[in-house]
């Protein structure tokens, strides 16, 4: 059975380093890029929040079964790109 995974990354930004100053790809691939935390909701279960290093976040995300999931995001071009480019999940 398919699952609906709602995903929302919160990331570092400042006055000069922000999505209003650069493209989504340039922002995500920049050396200053940092995930502060990520919220994940699976189906109707309560939302989980996780914060840690990029490696810790990747391990936490890897525990989800992405093989049979639909992804829902407020801004999928942003959150989906982070999921793929920074964490390697399609």
Number of separate domains in the chain: 1
pTM of the model: 0.91
**3 has which bridge partners?**
69
Q: What is the pLDDT of residue 59?
A: 95
Residues 37-59 pLDDT 10s: 999 999 999 999 999 999 999 99
Q: What is the pLDDT of residue 83?
A: 96
How many Å apart are CA 79 and CA 5, to the nearest integer?
12
- Owning domain of residue 14: 3-86
- Which residues of the chain are modeled with pLDDT < 70? none
Q: What is the pLDDT of residue 65?
A: 84
């Amino acid at each position: 059975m398919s699952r609906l995974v709602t995903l929302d990354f919160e990331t570092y930004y400042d006055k000069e380093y922000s999505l209003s100053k650069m493209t989504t790809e340039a922002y995500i691939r920049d050396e200053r890029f940092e995930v502060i935390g990520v919220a994940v909701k699976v189906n109707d279960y309560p939302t989980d929040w996780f914060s840690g290093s990029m490696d810790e976040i990747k391990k936490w995300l890897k525990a989800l079964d992405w093989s049979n999931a639909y992804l829902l995001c407020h801004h999928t071009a942003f959150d989906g790109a982070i999921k793929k480019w920074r964490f390697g999940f399609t």
